Amino acid sequence: MELSIKPYPANRYPIGAILIKSSAVSIWVKEIQGLGISLSEIMAYPVPDLTANSLWGCLLVGEVIRKINDPGRNSYCQLIKSKLFIPEHTILFPAVTDEEIDQLFGDRLHLFHPSFGLVELEGPIRWEELLTLPKQVGVEITEPSTTVFIPRQINQFLLHEIPPEEVLKDLEENQFPQRKKLSNKPLNILEKIKLGALRWLFHPAKPGDGSPGHPAPILPAIKKTNWLEKIESFFTPRKENKWINKLQAAYENLEERNQKEMDKLLELFRRNPEEALKYAIPLDEAGSVRGGEKGILDLSKRWMDFSLFGNAGTGSRSGGAVLANEHYHRLRNQYMATAQELIKEKEFQKAAFIYMKLLKDHNSAANTLEEGMFFQEAASVHLKYTDNKVKAAECYEKGRMTTQAIELYKELKKDEKVGDLYLTLNNRKDANRYFEKVAEQYKFSNQYVKASLLYKNKIENTSRAQSLLMEGWRADKDAFNCLNNYFSNIQDLNMLEAEIEKIYAADTPENKKETYLRVIKYEFERHPELAETTREIAYQIIAERAAKNPSIVSELQSFNKKDMNLLKDIIKYKHARKGE
């Protein structure tokens, strides 16, 4: 048997050595240094040339060879059963078995190369006999002082998150100013008479009822009566009637003090919504309010500020009062209208205060804070009140508080999301660890395509992605998509052609040949350059399966679309088989 080496598009055996072509030992050392290898990490064998007492080069052998991505101007060698080295992209011809390898080469290493034939590698080079090390010279090293590191480029910008308790405390104490207490002195007899007289001169405009379609207006609405307009007509228009302004101010003050508590609150919302929030009454789900005493509703100030999370401020009451349905809905609708108005004015924290403290609607409060880009505050509300860790994590992520978002996603077992966020931190090691967990889960549930996509697109390990697709094909788990993706990932046409032939010959059992036919239909259409190979395999499958499955002959048309006579022959064949 005469062995020879033939070119092959892919490596059939693992890489085991690097071959350096040069007869000079100094060149060997320079190439080894250029590869970043220490002499102690490898074994180097001299390679003889065809002329006696001459060298062709040297062969570098060792585990470190597998970690070198680029051999430079040197070449890789494949290792066959730890005994024989051959150049990359070649195969032995004819093929030999492991037993024949043992018989031919024994326990000695051999190198087979077209330039010099088959040689036995007798012993490694002893570098101490060839190299003279320079004498060491003592050098005094002066270390510079520690300097400030100034990065050339900022890759990311992160915010340091604060614990939710501190966020809530800050909102309670620092976000809103304190206001003075509203005077609520009742009218005496003379003031009631005065108010009756002023009502002949002024009257309030009819406001909305506080419903969603008719919210109470924000601005004050006081109108003059016909009597006052007649009186004004007697005065010269050029003169400023300051006395009328004074009368109107007195009327507004007396009218406000004369209103019922509920009307006073609604009126205050119309005139000054921010001030009204200081006196607003929280609504319970049962239709009651907090802040009354002995069942009587009063209008004392209930909040020191607009804090979303703190306790009621000075003037709060411990008792409660039950509102009639009409008053409850009027008040609730007014709160809703005011919140929407504040959102339009970009006052998101004040709107959130209404949802949180007055309407007890924690979700709306958190969503309002998120809309206003108060992401840390929104996350704190979700964590403390709505127990929605998913939304809290999303808010931390939007607010670039990535570390806290990662911790929450870990609790939620969202491993792929954790990996994505680690990538934003340029932490490839931890990102890959979580991506691999997800990929293993996909593999366990026989979702080999999803597992391979993770390795290809996120872990960036194409070889592992390909091996997973082959596992899925061999295990017949979504076999069509596994093999279709496997072929799609191969960009080199020569390698693709070799894989198409190899997988059909070695990894396509009888029960999967029709599936294989469906796959190569796609390759036939995608790569016209491989039409001859794919068509030949298709013919073989159709010929083998036609006896058991006559309808498969219709697939011939897919590989011969311009042959109109073939269609007639297919119809005749199928018709004949039906008559049998």
Q: CA quadruple 330, 336, 341, 345: dihedral positive or negative?
A: positive
Q: Which residue has the tokens 């085991």?
A: 16
Please give the backbone phi and psi of residue 11, each rounded to the nearest 5 degrees, phi first: -85, 125
| Residues 6 or more apart whose Cβ sits within 8 Å of residue 286 | none
Q: What is the pLDDT of residue 212?
A: 45
CA distance 466 to 492: 14
Q: Which residue has the tokens 């006999």?
A: 129
Q: Minimal CA–CA distance to 351: which of 426, 273, 299, 289?
A: 273
Report whether 276 contacts 216 (CB < 8 A).
no
CA distance 424 to 397: 11
pLDDT < 50 positions in the chain: 175-182, 207-220, 238, 285-288, 290-297, 311-322, 324, 579
Cis peptide before 94 (omega within 30 of 0): yes
The reply to whether the predicted model has a pTM over 0.75 is: no
CB atoms under 10 Å from CB of 335, counted, come to 23
Q: Which residues of 105-130 are buried (b: 16+ CB within 10 A; e: fewer)?
A: beeebbbbbeeeeebebeeebeeeee
Q: Minimal CA–CA distance to 512: which of 475, 551, 469?
A: 475
Burial of 269 (0-12, 13-18, 19+ CB in 10 A): buried
Q: What is the pLDDT of residues 501-554, one digit of tens each?
A: 999 999 999 999 999 999 999 999 999 999 999 989 988 998 888 878 877 877
Cα separations (Å) of 46 from 21, 124, 210? 10, 7, 97
What is the SS3 assignment for 536-560? HHHHHHHHHHCCCCHHHHHHHHHHC
CA distance 74 to 76: 7
The type of residue at 172 is E
Record the tokens describing residue 448, joined without a space.
């080999």
Record the tokens describing residue 210, joined without a space.
């506080």
